[in-house]
Amino acid sequence: MKIIAVVSAKGGVGKTTATANLCAAFKQSGRNVLAVDLDPQNALHLHFGGDPQRIAGTSRATLTGQDWREISVSSPSGIVVMPYGAVNEHDRQSFERHLDAHPDWLHRNLRALDLGTEDLVVLDTPPGPSIYMRAALTAARLTVIVTLPDAASYATLPMMEGLVQTYCAMRPDFLGHVFVVNQVDNSRLLARDVLQVMRANFGERVVGVVHQDQSVSEALAFNQSVLDYDPRCQATLDYQACARNIEAMLPAFAPSP
Ligand SMILES: Nc1ncnc2c1ncn2[C@@H]1O[C@H](COP(=O)(O)OP(=O)(O)OP(=O)(O)O)[C@@H](O)[C@H]1O
Ligand SMILES: [Mg+2]
């Protein structure tokens, strides 16, 4: 199993959308894919045709001791999704206390699923430092930082790199962190400039540029990945290219301990 965490310090940059569509692209390339939602917004499963009323998920399963296999849902294209689930405020706090007290919670539950060595697990996280981001960074072999091509997002990158440094860099099996620049509009000078600066600073670690594309929000309205909704649109091509670049890094992964 190869675990990829999708993170950002800033909210609303496209993490959940990137998680869903990278999963769709990995699946297209023949991988077994598990998408895990670690965000109380519980939005990831909606990209895969999930039922908005659904309450089962990792949060409640953790509190009740239910097996994760029983709460997973399969998308029409065969991606397995672990929703966060719907919990009341009291249960959310209990769940977060559990995560705080059990730093190996995520890794332990994923290992219990007996996934294949080449199977991919992609983790969606809430923005900014949180118990969920800590869990994701602690388990990840590769971290994907999603950012927008604007000054506000760019300014948060050192903080995000600091968190990666804190939770990942010490582990010999950690491959590194890469960047996906989302919502790029080439007609905007600022977007082109920020992209240029990012490429100059981070080189090949900028593994993906996803253009602003209305098919992205339309796809979510139809509870589909962009790849399924509009196979030929710009964003589909972008996510596919991004997934290829990430997969090209995977042979460097060591087997999970
Ligand atoms: N490339 C894109 N083109 C157009 N719209 C996009 C693109 N990427 C994301 N969006 C839209 O941006 C909004 C935010 O996306 P998303 O929910 O994935 O962000 P997020 O980082 O997961 O947010 P949060 O920090 O709240 O978890 C959504 O409405 C989504 O449809
Ligand atoms: Mg999100």
Nearest to 184 by CA among 226, 113, 239: 239
Q: Return the number of other C-beta atoms located less than 10 Å from residue 176's C-beta.
A: 13
Whether the pLDDT of residue 255 is over 50: the answer is no
Q: With a 6 A CB cut-off, is 230 part of the ligand 1 pocket?
A: no
Q: What is the DSSP string of 91-142?
A: HHHHHHHHHHH-TTHHHHHHHTT---TT-EEEEE--SSS-HHHHHHHHH-SE
The answer to whether position 10 is within a domain reads yes
Residue 26 C-alpha to ligand 2 middle, in angstroms? 19
The answer to whether position 257 is within a domain reads no
User: Tens digits of per-residue pLDDT, 161-212?
Assistant: 999 999 998 889 899 999 999 999 999 999 999 999 999 999 999 999 999 9
Kindly identify the ligand whose nearest atom is closest to the C-alpha of 146.
1
Whether the pLDDT of residue 256 is over 50: the answer is no
pTM above 0.85? yes
CATH, residue 26: 3.40.50.300
**Closest CA to ligand 1's atom 8:** 14
Q: With a 6 A CB cut-off, is 93 part of the ligand 1 pocket?
A: no
Residue 162 C-alpha to ligand 1 middle, in angstroms? 23
* Structural domain span for residue 86: 2-252
Position 67 scores a pLDDT of: 93
The count of structural domains within the chain is 1
